[in-house]
Amino acid sequence: MGIFDKIKHAIFGEAKAAEPVAAGAPKIEPAQAPASPSAAPSPTPAASPAQSKPATATIDIVPILDAAVKKNGQKLDWRHSIVDLMKAVGMDASLTERKELAAELGYAGDTNDSAKMNMWLHKALMKRLSENGGKVPADLLD
């Protein structure tokens, strides 16, 4: 598992854990539908889109990361700092880890210029989270 996948799992993990509960509701409806043979084919196709919605639903990262910062107990600014974001989700924010993340996300700049790399990493991470189902505030995507 790469660094990005670890971050994504740390942020989306709890939100995705709640999905089976949401997906469980449509499963009850098809179980009730077979009482009427003509209605059985109709709810089954309806259940598939309902079950796929949670997988494609966006997950608001703001409350998740805000809660992670609060739980961490340190004053962390995940909205502007890749180091603080990584710390908030309980990850190693060392330069080595950030360089590995930079390689994963396609950073072409000088990894020895950590300030420039960190700013790029934060923006690239926000974009990638958004592309992978995260609801990211617009000001963090610019």
pLDDT digits (tens, 9 = 90+) for 9-65: 999 985 554 444 333 333 333 344 444 444 444 444 444 444 434 455 789 999 999
pLDDT of 1 reads: 79
- The kind and range of the H/E element at 10 are helix 3-17
Residue 138 has pLDDT above 80, yes or no: yes
Instruction: Report if pTM > 0.75.
Output: no
Amino acid type, 2: G
C-alpha–C-alpha distance, residues 133 and 12, integer Å? 9
Query: 62 forms bridges with which residues in the sheet?
Result: none
pLDDT in tens, 57-97: 789 999 999 999 999 999 999 999 999 999 999 999 999 99
Beta strand segments in the chain, E: 59-60, 134-135
At CA 73, angle to CA 70 and CA 78, rounded to 5? Answer: 60
- The answer to whether residues 88 and 62 touch, using CB atoms and an 8 Å cutoff, is no
Q: What is the DSSP string of 72-107?
A: H-S---TTT-HHHHHHHTT----HHHHHHHHHHHT-
pLDDT value, residue 13: 87
In the structure encoding, which two tokens stand for residue 79, read together?
Answer: 């909205």
Rounded average pLDDT over 128-142: 92
Q: Angle 56-61-76 (CA atoms, 0-180°, nearest 5)?
A: 160
59: β partners: 134
